[in-house]
Homo-oligomer: A and B are copies of this chain.
């Protein structure tokens, strides 16, 4: 038997992780340097900006962030007056989260950057590469939806 026909370079988890880090890097630099946001904060802002009013749990599920991360991000965004909480009418454990006007404005600016970066990525990867990646990710997302967790 041969030593091993395993090649790390071909191993999907490895490749995915490396690619994700690379792709996240440049954009992260923008929201960190320009807006002083951490990644969980940006993700929370984006979730709320894109989906509207949500609970903390929903944000966590949506972005696959641990609930403590969400909790801290929410706190930080609230301090900055970019987010406000309102109590659920029927269930006092739950809080609805919503962007303030200032938060929505920040979100608009960030999305502008995000769109620019998307375009940049598309040229960087080539139209075909971009499309392939996108459809591959769709497959993963489908798998996620039905996976046993």
A residues apposed to B, CB below 8 Å: 3-4, 6-24, 27, 43, 46-47, 49-51, 63-64, 107-108, 111, 114-115, 117-118, 121, 124-126, 128-144, 147
Q: Which residues of B contact A63 (CB under 8 A)?
A: 14, 18
| This chain's copy number in the assembly | 2
Secondary structure call for the A interface: helix
B13 touches A20 (CB 8 A): yes
**Chain B residues near A8 (CB, 8 Å)?**
46-47, 49-51
Is there contact, CB below 8 Å, between B136 and A4? no
Nearest-Cβ distance from residue A110 to partner chain B, whole angstroms: 9
How long is the Cα–Cα vector from A139 to B17 in the complex, in angstroms?
Answer: 14
CB-CB < 8 A to A64: which residues of B? 18, 21-22
CA of A12 to CA of B27 in the docked complex: distance in angstroms? 11
